[in-house]
Amino acid sequence: MILKFYQAINKDPLELALVHWYNIDGELWGCPKLKLIKQYSCIPLDSMDRTVYIVARFEKINEYLVNSFMF
């Protein structure tokens, strides 16, 4: 989710992204294994420097993999 805040009429808006965080929980098939945690943050959109592709493990509950082979 992207949020846009206007500070003043003649200033550029501050663009923020709402980020849901993960913890790294080992490795599987050469990819980091993740678990969602209950922590969110708003960070400046300009501070993001790369895209990460996260794949859900559908047979598991709250378990995801980072696709390291895509980039």
Task: Please give the pLDDT value at position 35.
Answer: 92
pLDDT of residue 55: 87
Helices (H) and strands (E) in the chain, counts: 0, 5
CB 15 within 8 A of CB 45: yes
* 67 has pLDDT over 60: yes
pLDDT of residue 47: 87
**Residue with token string 């709250």:** 62
Alpha helices in 1-71 (DSSP H): none
Query: For residue 24, what pLDDT is reported?
Result: 87
**Structure-token pair, residue 8:** 């003043």
Residue-wise pLDDT for 2-58, tens only, equals: 888 888 888 888 889 888 889 888 888 888 888 999 999 998 888 888 778 888 888
CA 71-63-50 angle, 5° bins: 25
Is the predicted pLDDT of residue 71 greater than 60, yes or no? no
